[in-house]
Amino acid sequence: MRTGFKSTLVVTTAGIVTLIAVWVIPIPFSMVEWFVDQHYDYFLKPKEIVNKEHSGIKQIFMGVSELKLRSDWRRQFVKRIQPEINSEEDAIQIVTQRIDSLMIGGNEFDHLPIFQTTFPNIIRGYGWCDQVNSAVAFTLHELIDGVEAYALVDPETGISPHTCARVNSASLGVVYIDAWLKDIRYFGFADSLTEKGKQIIPRHRDLLHNNRAQGIGLPLEARYYPSGYVFNKYTFSYQFKSALGRFWDAISSIDWLLNKAVETETVKAVEAETVKAAETVETAETDKADTLIDWLSNETDKADEAVKIDKADTLHLSATPGQSRSDKRINEATIEQQKTFVKARLYHLYGKESIAKNLYKTIMECDHDIGKVSSIFYKRLSNAN
C-alpha cells in the first residue's frame, strides 16, 4: 500500500516537473515553423469556422499549443527589445511601435472581421482595433504588470466604438495606449495620473485638441473612457480561467457530437418503424391519402413562397458580414499561398526580416486579402532597409 502510494507520488511529481519544463523551455524555431505549417488554417481562419472543422480533442490540443507558442514568442520578442528599455514609458512606447510595425489595422487595410484568439491574430498580422491593441496589451504585460485590453463605451448608447490598451502603473498611474494613433500613442487624464505620470505622460485633452485640428478622429472624447470595460486581461489567473472555459467548450462539443450520434440512431429506428407501419395501411385509404397529399402540396408551395420572401428580407437587413464571408476571402488563396503567408509572418515575428520579405514577395501580387496584406508588409520591410 505504502509502496503504491510512493510510486503514484513519484509519477505525479515527475509529470508536474515535465509539464513545467515543457512550459519554461522554449520550443526550437524549426519545430514552431513545422507546427504552424501543419496547422496553418488555425492561425488564419475565424475561430467559429475552425471549431466546426475540427473535433473537440483537436480544439483542446490547439488551444494548449497556442498558449505555449504565444508565451515563447513573447519572451523572445521582449528579450530582443529589452536593451532599449530603461523605463515604463520606454516599454509603452517601444512595444506599441513594434506591434504597430508587425500588424496592420483596419484603418490601413479595410477587411472583414476575423474573430480569433490572441496569437492567431498576431500571426495573421491584420485585424481591427480590439485585435491590434490586444496584441499590444499581451506583449506589454511581460514588462509591466496590470496591462489589459480596454473597450471604450458611449455612456449614452452603451455601444463600444473602439478598443485600446490600458495599464494602471504604480509609478505613472492610469495610462491609455492606442496603436491606431500616430506619433503619440499613449496618454492619460490628470485625475488618474501620479505626480510623476503628470510630468511625462501626454494629457488626453491636449492630444485630442491637436489631432482634431489635423482631422484625426482619435483619441475619442473623454466621456468614452470612464464608462468602458475590461475586454481582456493577461494575468495568469485570468488567462487560466479563460483557458478553462475554452477547454469546457471543447469538451461540450465532444458530448454534443456523441449525443447527436445517439439521436441519429434513434431517428433511424423510428423511421424504420414508421415505414413498416405504413406498409400495412389498407389500399382503401389510398384515394383519401392522394387527396391529402395534393392539399399539402398546395400549402407547401405557398409556404415556400413565404420563406423566400422572409429570406430576402433577412438578407436585406443583414448589413454585418458573417464569419463565413471572412473565411471565403481567405480561401481565395490556395493552400500553398496560405502556408507561405503564415511562414512569412512567423519569420517576421521572430525578427528574421530578410527571409520574411522574400516570402511576402512571392505572394504579394495575388488579388486576395493575403496577397494585399503581403504587399503592405513587403513595402514596410523594403522601406526599413
Q: What is the CATH number of the domain that holds 45?
A: 3.10.620
SS3 category, 105: strand
CB 356 within 8 A of CB 347: yes
Distance, CA of 122 to CA of 148 (rounded, Å): 16
- Cβ 70 vs Cβ 63: under 8 Å: no
Identify whether 349 is part of a domain: no
- C-alpha–C-alpha distance, residues 10 and 16, integer Å: 10
> Is residue 348 domain-resident?
no
256 within some domain: no
CB neighbours of 103 closer than 8 A, spacing ≥ 6? Answer: 122, 125, 126, 127, 131, 132, 135, 179
Range of the domain at 149: 20-234
Helix (H, G, I), strand (E, B) or coil at 230: strand
- 288 is a domain residue: no
Determine the Cα–Cα distance for residues 80 and 357; give it in Å rounded to an integer.
19
CA distances from 344 to 36, 40, 207, 348, 363 (A): 11, 12, 36, 6, 10
Nearest one of 377, 359, 357 to 102, comparing CA atoms: 377
pLDDT the model gives residue 213: 92
Please list the alpha-helical segments (H only) found in 39-166.
Answer: 47-53, 56-81, 88-102, 118-124, 129-140
3 state DSSP class of 282? coil
Contact 175, 185 (CB under 8 A): no
Query: Which residue type is seen at 193?
Result: L
Residue 139's CB: how many other CB atoms inside 10 A? 26
Full pLDDT tens readout for the chain, 385 residues: 556 656 666 556 655 655 565 567 889 999 999 999 999 999 999 988 888 888 888 888 888 899 899 999 999 999 999 999 999 999 999 999 999 999 999 888 888 889 999 999 999 999 999 999 999 999 999 999 989 999 999 999 999 999 999 999 999 999 999 999 988 999 999 999 999 999 999 999 999 999 999 998 999 999 999 999 998 988 756 555 665 565 566 556 554 444 544 455 544 544 555 444 444 444 444 443 344 334 334 433 433 433 333 333 322 223 344 566 666 678 889 999 999 999 999 999 999 999 999 999 999 998 889 999 999 999 999 997 6
Residue 286: what pLDDT?
43
Give the residue carrying C-alpha cell 409556404: 303
Residue 21's pLDDT is 57
Does 207 fall in a domain?
Answer: yes
Number of domains comprising the chain: 1
Task: Note whether residue 10 is domain-resident.
Answer: no
48 occurs within a structural domain: yes
Of 316, 358, 359, the residue nearest 337 (C-alpha):
359
CA distances from 18 to 11, 23, 155, 183 (A): 10, 9, 49, 45
The pLDDT value given to residue 326: 65
3-state DSSP of 137-197: HHHHCCCCCCEEEEEECCCCCCCCCEEEEEEEECCCEEEEECCCCCCCCEEECHHHECHHH
At 330 the pLDDT is: 81
Its pTM stands at 0.76
Q: Residue 203 carries which DSSP code?
A: B
Q: How far is CA 292 from CA 40, 282, 283, 287, 327, in A?
A: 54, 16, 15, 9, 45
245 φψ region: left (φ > 0), alpha (ψ -120 to 50), beta (else)? alpha
The verdict on residue 316 lying in a domain is: no
Residue 172 to residues 205, 327, 347, Cα–Cα distance (Å): 18, 42, 35
Q: Is 322 strand, coil or helix?
A: coil
Report pLDDT for 329: 78
